Amino acid sequence: MSVSSRIRGLHELLAAKKISAAELTKAYRSAIEKHNEALGAYVSTSFETAEKAAEQADKRIAQGDELPLLWGIPMALKDNISTTGLSTTCCSKILSGYTPIYDATLWERLKAQGAVLLGKTNMDEFAMGSSTETSCYFPARNPHDPTRVAGGSSGGSASSVAANLAAYSIGSDTGGSIRQPASFCGIVGFKPTYGRVSRYGLIAYASSLDQMGPLAPTVEDAAIIYSAIAGYDPKDSTSSQLPVSPVDLSGDIRGLKIALPQEYISGVGEEAKAAILAAVKTYESLGAIVEEISLPSASYSLPVYYILACAEASSNLARYDGIRYGYKAEQYTDLDDMVCKTRTQGFGKEVQRRILLGNYVLSAGYYDAYYKKAQNLRRVIIRDIENIFEKYDAILTPTVPSTAFELGFAPSDPVETYLTDICTVTANIAGLPGISLPCGTDSKGLPIGMQLMAKRFEDSRLLKIAHAYEQAAGEVCKKIDLLNF
Amino acid sequence: MKYELVVGLETHAELSTKSKIFCGCTTQFGGEPNTHCCPVCIGLPGALPKLNEKVVDYAIMAGLATNCTISPLSRMDRKNYVYPDLPKAYQISQYDLPLCRDGHIKLSTGNTIRINRIHIEEDAGKLVHERGTTYVDYNRGGVPLIEIVSEPDFRSADEAREYMEKLALILKYIGVSDCKMQEGSLRCDVNISVRKPGGPFGTRTEIKNMNSLAFMVKAIEYEYERQVDILESGGKIIQETRRWNEEDKCTESMRSKEDAHDYRYFPEPDLVNIVITPEHLERLKNTIPELPDSRVERYTQQWDLPPADAALIARYKPIAEFFEAAVQGIQKPRTVSNFIVGQIFGLFATEEERAEAHIPIPPQYLSELVKLLEGGKINSNQAKDTLKKMLDTGKPHTEFLSEADLAGLDTHALEAMARQAIEQNPKISADVRSGNDKAINALIGSVMKQAKGKANPKEAEAILRKLLSE
Ligand SMILES: [Zn+2]
């Protein structure tokens, strides 16, 4: 069973005029209308504008022009990506009623490529969570087992793609929020190098860690989307001016060196471990050299991540005060009371927890012990990673220590939930490109994901390495397709 | 025992760049509320700042003009506090890596005021109270500011005033700020303490947001008395923020140290470090004009100008440049400065007009006129009249002085006039001959009258003396 690109398949159907973009959009619409209630993938839809955009796309197709691969193909955006005139709420009550007056650069680029936006996908409130259960609307469910979570924070994006309620979708990844739900839902999730995709218009959680990227059925799909969204944006000072090297998935990976950090393997369950070791065998059969290594600074990654992310979040989220847009408390005595009540009522528990943590680690007397120390450790981790990439082309780890857990499985200790991010946060801390792709299933049939990371700005090579495995391994987990046409 | 006043100033100056510090919106003063705004400067979710390079250049120029060291590497930080006029709930400022450090300004008292740092930051919007409600206008939000932090080196309110005046003059001179206190483009916070001379610094209070020099002086003087009174009566100064109440002519408490903000500064993750290359710094250095102090020194020492005239001319860059061009090839620069102080300054009624100083003639025109005067071709009254006409019309002297005017009088004609003066005034002539030397002035006057002002009085005097002694 070979793995083939969904986007390429649809593109060929559209180009051959076997289906129109409008018909395709209608088909997605009815699938969403039928199944979204069960899956909770979308929190808002924009079918009317989608159908208009599809009709426009069809006009160009009718002219027989050579068109981008994404032309006329329906897709979804995470609810934290700004779109003019379309509600963008970060799945938080505090942004209820907020409609952006400008487009994120990423959305501008996709629109120029003919993308048709079906709607906004579910997420953990302000991307803070690993299960999309902190969404102020409803949780997103896993198409492989709707009693289980889709992961998070881009759970709605993953669920929509895994069930084919969107051809592909865009998520954001601050500590694993693209890769972890992709792993849970048995699809590909790619977080590009920090600075490769403009953050302009992405509602910030933690600015130095946030990066948008694709959730897609296959590596080739992820590569097509990546090529459309990557590149310098003068509106984002942290976006890189380095030219984007074109993605070339062809050719073998003989002689390539892959590092397998034992710290990440030891903590995972037996089934996940077995799937990873099978993937290692596949790589070896392709001529790659896989070696176990040690990454001692890995143990710092999680605390460093939570300190820095919460610190930045406390500042990024301070602007939601009810004065200019979004939710505003109805009853209050004065300005301070209004801001206080608005934030208390508007933010969920997890967001409040992280804001408090962030304010704490930045406050006078604690800054050196927490924020500054975390910044220093961030440099140590980056140096350690650089050392590894002097000898290796990629690092292979599990994406998540477990497969999708059941809804409502809320550990009493939030730190336990935070542990699910342990394999993914390193890529954000070091700004590396990271990709999760399916590598098997557990005994319940739930997808297991593996993660590959590469040196900064080696996104194209990382995609090629992932693609080589995917093609060799074939279909490793069940495909679900709710689209009918 | 007398207490010594110790003052330090934190000055905010709006930079006169055309666009805001992190977006392309205009910095123009005024405008309908919230019309000079965009997603960036009203802090909409997802919008990102983009540092205006002109702002960095202007701040560096301010640093160079105040003798600062420019940091090759600096950084923007977030200063977090919640207030409705601050739409992101943090101000993007600079904390531990400011653009400029360790400068100074010399005062006329001989005291040197050290400048600790100059950093860049964004201004906030403003609250408008109307119809029983409070509104926010974000037009001013994101206008670039520099904050200039002095060391506590002032020992009198007058020194603080002179420093502010000098700072404003320098910033205007190099063209980075218009420093209009009444529009709020220049304002300062004052830190005040008192101590026994030579003793340790006392506890300080801070008076926020002074936007008039007169108020600042009054506030410093009031606060000095207040603190001395407290100490004299055995009390203790409380560290706090105070404000000047102009109605009651006193300072009053705003908040104490316990209520002080914890700004939770941290590096701005949306912006990258600011790196200044030596080449760029060199280019900026070359744009800094010679500053007033240095010009005054040159004018008084090289060109022998009276200090007051030198200071007046040097204060306005276009006038100083006009003067320096007009003085080329002139024997006595003071002659040129006299015309400038006496006639050209008269063209401008306000400080703004003087600062812009659109002089209707090029400096060469004045230069040529002064050369005629120095060469004795015309006398000073003619020169004054002609300059007036030149300034009225913008035309050169050749339009107003005929060949005949410039030809002067030949010695024969002058001698004839002198003879006539002596003949018509026999009594005065006799007085002169008998030793009343001053009486000769009347005879010179007579010659000048006959010559209709065209004669050179010195020449007339010489001929009169020759004839009288015959
Ligand atoms: Zn703006």
Backbone angles phi, psi at B243, to 5 degrees: -130, 155
For strands A434-441 and B4-14, give the pairing. Answer: unpaired
Q: Report whether pLDDT(A291) > 70.
A: yes
The answer to whether residue A301 sits within a structural domain is no
Give the dihedral sign, CA A328/A315/B269/B73.
positive
CA atoms of A219 and A5, how far apart (whole Å): 8
Closest C-alpha among A427, A442, A144 to residue A273 = A442
Closest C-alpha among B4, B286, B293 to residue B159 = B4
Say whether A371 and B266 touch across the interface (CB within 8 A).
yes
Q: Chain B residue with minimal CA distance to A80?
A: B46
The answer to whether residue A290 sits within a structural domain is no
What pLDDT, on the 0 to 100 scale, is given for residue A445? 96
Q: How far is the CA of B171 from the centre of ligand 1 (A)?
A: 25
| Residue, of B371 and A201, whose pLDDT is higher | A201
* Contact call for residues B35 and B228 (beta carbons, < 8 A): no
Q: Chain B residue with minimal CA distance to A309?
A: B269
A421/chain B closest Cα distance in angstroms: 22
CATH code for the domain of A149: 3.90.1300.10
CB contacts < 8 Å between A and B, how many? 94
The mean pLDDT value for A439-459 works out to 97
What pLDDT, on the 0 to 100 scale, is given for residue A412? 64
Quick one: pLDDT band at residue A60, thresholds 50, 70, 90?
very high
The mean pLDDT value for A235-250 works out to 96
What pLDDT, on the 0 to 100 scale, is given for residue A457? 98
Domain count, chain A: 1
The yes-or-no answer on residue A153 being catalytic is yes
What pLDDT, on the 0 to 100 scale, is given for residue B24? 97
The answer to whether residue A376 sits within a structural domain is no
Q: Chain B residue with minimal CA distance to A204?
A: B46
The answer to whether residue A334 sits within a structural domain is no
Share of chain B above pLDDT 70, in %: 97
The mean pLDDT value for A209-216 works out to 98
The mean pLDDT value for B356-370 works out to 92
What pLDDT, on the 0 to 100 scale, is given for residue A419? 72
Among B212-226, B289-303, B413-427, the minimum mean pLDDT is found in B413-427
The mean pLDDT value for B255-271 works out to 86
The answer to whether residue A354 sits within a structural domain is no
Spatial CB neighbours of A440, under 8 Å, sequence gap ≥ 6:
A271, A274, A275, A278, A279, A447, A448, A476, A477
Interface predicted TM-score of the whole assembly (ipTM), two decimals: 0.96
In the three-class reduction of DSSP (H, G, I as helix; E, B as strand; rest coil), residue B178 is classed as coil
What pLDDT, on the 0 to 100 scale, is given for residue B408? 61
Among A455-464, B71-80, B141-150, B353-362, the minimum mean pLDDT is found in B353-362
Say whether B264 and A204 touch across the interface (CB within 8 A).
no
Quick one: pLDDT band at residue A211, thresholds 50, 70, 90?
very high
What pLDDT, on the 0 to 100 scale, is given for residue A350? 95
CA atoms of B348 and B366, how far apart (whole Å): 18
What pLDDT, on the 0 to 100 scale, is given for residue A324? 94
Q: How far is the CA of A405 from the centre of ligand 1 (A)?
A: 45
Q: Is A318 on the interface with B (CB under 8 A)?
A: yes
A312, A327, A332: best to mutate for the B interface, most B CBs within 10 A: A312
B411-468 CATH: 1.10.10
CA atoms of A127 and B429, how far apart (whole Å): 109
A384/chain B closest Cα distance in angstroms: 22
What pLDDT, on the 0 to 100 scale, is given for residue B470? 76
C-alpha separations of A322 from A405, A417, B306 in Å: 36, 30, 63
CA atoms of A61 and A40, how far apart (whole Å): 33
Quick one: pLDDT band at residue B258, thresholds 50, 70, 90?
low
In the three-class reduction of DSSP (H, G, I as helix; E, B as strand; rest coil), residue B193 is classed as strand
The answer to whether residue A259 sits within a structural domain is no
Give the domain ranges of chain B. 4-284, 290-407, 411-468
The answer to whether residue A18 sits within a structural domain is yes
Say whether A201 and B271 touch across the interface (CB within 8 A).
no
Among A324-338, A389-403, A417-431, B114-128, the minimum mean pLDDT is found in A417-431
The mean pLDDT value for B437-446 works out to 87
* Contact call for residues A158 and A187 (beta carbons, < 8 A): yes
A292/chain B closest Cα distance in angstroms: 35
Residues of A in contact with B265 (CB under 8 A): 362
Structure-block tokens of residue B2 = 């007398």
In the three-class reduction of DSSP (H, G, I as helix; E, B as strand; rest coil), residue B188 is classed as strand
Quick one: pLDDT band at residue A461, thresholds 50, 70, 90?
very high
For strands A188-191 and A116-121, give the pairing. Answer: unpaired
Quick one: pLDDT band at residue B404, thresholds 50, 70, 90?
low
What pLDDT, on the 0 to 100 scale, is given for residue A293? 96
CA atoms of A418 and A420, how far apart (whole Å): 5
What pLDDT, on the 0 to 100 scale, is given for residue B344? 93
Q: Report whether pLDDT(B409) > 70.
A: no
Q: Report whether pLDDT(B140) > 60.
A: yes
The mean pLDDT value for B139-159 works out to 97
| Residue, of B54 and A419, whose pLDDT is higher | B54
Q: Report whether pLDDT(B467) > 80.
A: yes
Say whether A312 and B269 touch across the interface (CB within 8 A).
yes
Say whether A104 and B82 touch across the interface (CB within 8 A).
no
In the three-class reduction of DSSP (H, G, I as helix; E, B as strand; rest coil), residue B391 is classed as helix
Spatial CB neighbours of B446, under 8 Å, sequence gap ≥ 6:
B417, B420, B421, B424, B425
The answer to whether residue A279 sits within a structural domain is no
What pLDDT, on the 0 to 100 scale, is given for residue B391? 92
What pLDDT, on the 0 to 100 scale, is given for residue A20? 97
Residues of A in contact with B90 (CB under 8 A): 315, 318
Mean pLDDT score of chain B, rounded to an integer?
A: 92
Residue tagged active-site, from A135, A153, A154, A183: A153
What pLDDT, on the 0 to 100 scale, is given for residue A1? 54
Which domain range does residue A15 map to?
A: 6-253+405-411+423-473
Q: Report whether pLDDT(B367) > 70.
A: yes
The mean pLDDT value for B38-57 works out to 98
DSSP single-letter state for residue B401: S
Of A201, A207, A318, the CB nearest to B82: A318
